[in-house]
């Protein structure tokens, strides 16, 4: 945030609180080892990530840092492709290989 942006500080803080509530629900529901955000949030947006991590640290009993995706806008696509690859490997290729051994 640049000097002179005092008028948006409270709105910015309110938006981040809503994001943190969303992230807390994800954390409490699925208990991930890592939480990586992507899309419009980039590694250059240090204030946003640091603020989110500070808010999470106050609210949670566990230590979990939010990190920024290195693939940016392609984070969701990359994660989906990874999960698809893992599913095909575990459910198709391994079963076929084990079936050939029997």
Residue 76 φ then ψ, to 5°: -65, -45
Can you give the length of the chain in residues? 102
Question: What distances in angstroms separate CA 19 from CA 79, 89, 100, 101, one per listed residue?
Answer: 20, 34, 49, 50
pLDDT one-digit tens code per residue, 51-80 = 888 888 888 877 777 777 776 677 777 778
Q: How does residue 38 score in pLDDT terms, banded at 50, 70 and 90?
A: low
Beta bridge partners of 37: 68
Would you kindly state where each structural domain of the chain is located, as residue ranges?
1-70, 74-102
Residue 35, pLDDT above cutoff 70: yes
Among 40-44, 48-52, 66-70, where is mean pLDDT lowest?
A: 40-44
Q: For residue 80, what pLDDT is reported?
A: 81
Looking up tokens 């979990």, which residue turns up? 64
């Amino acid at each position: 945030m640049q000097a002179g942006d005092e008028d948006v500080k409270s709105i910015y803080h309110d938006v981040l609180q809503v994001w943190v509530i969303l992230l807390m629900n994800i954390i409490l529901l699925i208990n991930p080892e890592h939480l990586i955000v992507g899309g419009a949030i980039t590694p250059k947006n240090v204030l946003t990530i640091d603020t989110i991590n500070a808010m999470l640290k106050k609210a949670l009993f566990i230590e979990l840092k939010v990190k920024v995706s290195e693939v940016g806008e392609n984070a969701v696509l990359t994660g989906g492709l990874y999960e698809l690859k893992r599913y095909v490997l575990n459910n198709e290729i391994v079963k076929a290989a084990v079936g050939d051994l029997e």
